[in-house]
A and B are shown apart, each in its own frame.
Chain A
Amino acid sequence: MSKTIMTVDDSASVRQMVNFTLSGAGYGVIEAEHGKDALAKLKAATVNMIITDLNMPEMDGIELVRAVRNDPALKFMPIVLLTTESQDTKKQEGKQAGATGWIVKPFKPEQLLGVVKKIIGS
């Protein structure tokens, strides 16, 4: 049973790269465009982990973390934030909200896989 990871990002090219990297390593991938879209899709599918961008329309990454943590069915879901070097305060805010980890953009596919492995195993 392979694990499924949700990638939440308003940038289609980043989603595509995350999807390509993860599915190449044998994970299932579900894409969502922003926080609201992610929450809607989480109702319909079983997901083992979320990788989300911070800046998104409709609902940003921090709000998504809070929403997931407040849902009893999802509260232990691992969530990784995609941040940039300049977003350190945002990163702290995300940690405060209950994010599991973070990856600083730009990252290489193997870094992404390393973090995924650290958080949900292979």
Chain B
Amino acid sequence: MDPHQTAYLEEAKELLVELETSLLELEDTPDDQELIGRVFRALHTIKGSGAMFGFDRIAEFTHQVETAFDLVRSGKIPVTSEMINLTLRARDEIKAMLEEAETGETTDPGSAEEIINAFIALTTGAAPPAPEPPPQLPPAENVRPGIIAPDRPEIKGRLTTFRILFKPRREILQTGTNPILLLDELNALGECTIIVNNEKIPSLHTIDTEQCYVSWEILLTTDQGINSVRDVFIFVEDLSEIVIEVLEEDLDSLDDSQQKRLGEILIERREISAEALTACLDKQKRIGEVLIGEKLISNQAVANALAQQQHSSRVLKKQKELAETSTIRVEANRLDKLVNLVGELVTLQARLGQKAFRENDPDLISISEEADRLTSALRNNAMSIRMLPIGKTFSKFRRLVRDLSKNLGKEIILTTEGEETELDKTVIDKLNDPLVHLIRNCIDHGIELPEERMHAGKAGQGTIHLKAFHSGANVFLQITDDGKGLDCKAIHAKGVEKGIIQADTVLAEKELFALIFAPGFSTAKTVSDVSGRGVGMDVVKKNIDALRGTIEIESRQGSGTTVTLKLPLTLAIIDGLLVQIGKGFFVIPLSAVEECLEVTRTEANQALERSMLSSRGEILSYISLRRLFSCHDTPPPLEKIVVIEENGHRIGLGLDSVIGQHQTVIKGLSKVYQNVKGLSGATILGDGTMALILDIPQLAQCVKSEPPL
């Protein structure tokens, strides 16, 4: 039983007590109108609220009793002791029904029927109260209240254009009605053009600002059917003149040839006769101007007709667009093939470009540039075919948030932003699990119980906000909660306990938060079935790494946490930085690159010994790619350092030379190499040689754990 029903039962019992006392008093003073009113009201409330909360039997029975008592109230039948007795019996019957509703036992429905029959016997002879004629409002000048609309079967789902004339009475504002909201409501039904007729507005010194002088003509194209249009005016139909006409039906099959000309529309709107129009048409000017010039019709009439013309052309255009953007379904693997072919083409284009550059042949160069433009357009297009809006994924989480928060006794709403942001299909598919985990974390660890929140001076209801947006070649996803935030001390203590850090280690906030992603880390006091087993955040990080994305946490204790995922738009082609070590080429994903430096060979050797180097007064971890990939050529006198950032940790990669930015078509490595650390794939360069793509997160791992590679 829901709380509303319980509340009703409580209230009904109170009303029954009231009913009994009133009836007993009424027996002593049968003429007391106030008492009769009290009895009637009690019955009326039991009935009305009973129907509200699903106690139909109680409502039905009480309705019969109320009908009888209404006759008493209107003086049609006197208050007799018989009447009082019967009503008291009815009261007991209602009480029995209420108890039955509480306990679920059934009473004998016969007794209720018996009481009703007794009431009917008592009241026959008394005529039912004649319905009073509804009071009529005085007719206002030139407004004939009511809705005039064609009677037609309701056809939903077929586009129809209605012309609606909405002429409210001047006093409409006195009833607290806001006509603008009705126009908004019409606007929500479909394509809508609203024309204001303001010719009736008087001059400033005679205007009464509490009156409504304007009327509206609305052209609405909708598939909701005429009844939805009528429903909009339900409260104002006797305060306004409303005319609804059907202009065009079944618009789904319209074409341009059916576009009406202004003259035709004017005749249709009965603004002018066909003869007068023809006479004016012979003057060879714009028809509207001529008609106004000839004083045949008013400015307003032409303006309205023009608006109608524009409305139908707008609707037509929309219809056309809809027809054109019809979709076809294509198997995902066909698209993958297409993207692969485009990748090959990009590689080939790089070769052509190099060749043209070497030959220095102007013709060849211009062909190459042309081809370059085409391939990038083709690449973007092929990529965009695989893009899907992320909104669908977002909407899946609503249920998750609802159910979980209920389980934990928390009040949480999920708000979303940027649903239209598009991401590669493969990325979206792989994002689901990490996002589920992050949202679960927000619900479980982030947002506090309502009373706890109230204590902290926050609203009892917590919010989780999902936001997606594009920035450069990346998509950012942010999961923000307004919960209690991360507890730095607890994380530090936990890190020490798990042996991840030393007790005396002092970490910057960013590094401290990054501990959360360490395997086996969890600060939950108790293990709930939602989260807190300490598997998860490390898995989330692995998943995001696999997508070549990054994950960052920002948090303020007491006011909430934001987790930001940065993801590449696509998994097939990335922007990379092409570098060289000895004779080998490597690609570093550009998204990870912070800056490039140069150091002398001596400094580089020192850095190699210490595994770190200092740049601008800052200490960086240092990895020599020469050593990593066992390159034994003579090193150049100057070593280049590419500084990458991974999870708040900056690492310098020592290498021979930086060639430059490179459009990298990613090719997977075969199974033989799948366990090679530090590489995530390969790509083919313009001259046909191969470059290996570095796996930045893995490299960062080796800095921390330094396993022999």
Contacts and interface: CB of A to CB of B under 8 A. Distances in A.
B175 A99 contact: yes
B57 interface: no
B53 A88 contact: no
Given A16-B7, A121-B184, A69 B51 contact: no
A12 to B, nearest CB: 5
B595 interface: no
A101 B135 CA distance: 16
B707 interface: no
Interface string B22-55: 0000000000000001101100110111011100
Contacts, number: 101
Nearest to A108: B52
A20 to B, nearest CB: 7
B216 interface: no
B7 A12 contact: yes
A85 B173 CA distance: 27
Given A10-B41, A16-B7, A119 B176 contact: yes
Nearest to B132: A89
Contact of B174 (A88, A98, A105): A98
Contacts of A49: 176
Tell which of B135, B176, B177 has the most Cβ of chain A within 10 Å.
B176
Interface string B211-244: 0000000000000000000001011001000000
A78 B132 contact: no
Nearest to A12: B11
Interface in B1-25: 3-4, 7-8, 10-11
B7 A78 contact: no
Interface string B56-80: 0001000100010000000000000
A43 interface: no
Nearest to A14: B49
Contacts of B49: 11, 13-14
B134 A88 contact: yes
A98 B175 contact: yes
Nearest to A50: B176
Contact of A55 (B41, B63, B67, B175): B41
A46 interface: no
Contact of A120 (B8, B181, B185, B234): B181
What class of interface size applies to chain A in its complex with B?
A: 35 or more
B131 interface: yes
A79 B59 CA distance: 26
Contacts of B496: none
A56 B48 CA distance: 13
A99 B235 CA distance: 9
Contacts of A89: 131-132, 134
A119 B45 contact: no
A100 B176 contact: yes
A9 to B, nearest CB: 8
A49 to B, nearest CB: 8
B11 A105 contact: no
B535 interface: no
A81 B10 CA distance: 25
A17 B53 contact: yes
A101 B239 CA distance: 12
Contacts of A12: 7, 11
A118 B182 contact: yes
B11 A11 contact: yes
A77 B59 CA distance: 32
Nearest to A99: B175
B177 A119 contact: yes
B41 A56 contact: yes
Contacts of A56: 41
A84 interface: yes
Contacts of A55: 40-41, 44-45
A75 interface: yes
Contacts of B506: none
B5 to A, nearest CB: 8
B41 A57 contact: yes
Tell which of A10, A11, A99, A106 has the most Cβ of chain B within 10 Å.
A11
Contact of B135 (A77, A93, A119): A93
B185 A118 contact: yes
Given A55-B41, A57-B41, A121-B181, A11 B48 contact: yes
Contacts of B182: 118
Contacts of A120: 178, 181
B279 interface: no
Given A96-B135, A98-B176, A105-B51, A17 B44 contact: no
A11 B135 CA distance: 29
B137 interface: yes
Contacts of B38: 57
B156 to A, nearest CB: 18
A105 B67 CA distance: 17
A95 interface: yes
Contact of A20 (B4, B48, B184): B4
B602 to A, nearest CB: 68
Given A89-B131, A96-B135, A10 B176 contact: no
B176 A84 contact: no
Interface in A67-122: 69, 75-79, 82, 84, 86, 88-89, 92-93, 95-96, 98-102, 105-107, 118-121
B52 A77 contact: no
Contact of B181 (A69, A75, A119): A119
Nearest to A97: B175
8 smallest beta-carbon distances between A and B, as pairs? A78-B176, A92-B134, A101-B235, A13-B8, A106-B51, A100-B176, A13-B7, A106-B52
Interface of B: 3-4, 7-8, 10-11, 37-38, 40-41, 44-45, 47-49, 51-53, 59, 63, 67, 131-132, 134-135, 137, 173-178, 181-182, 184-185, 210, 232, 234-235, 238
Given A10-B41, A78-B178, A106-B51, 13 more contacts: A11-B48, A12-B7, A13-B52, A14-B49, A16-B3, A16-B7, A17-B52, A95-B175, A95-B238, A106-B48, A118-B181, A120-B178, A120-B181
16 contacts: A10-B45, A11-B48, A14-B49, A16-B4, A55-B41, A57-B41, A76-B176, A89-B134, A96-B137, A100-B175, A100-B176, A101-B235, A106-B48, A118-B182, A119-B181, A119-B235
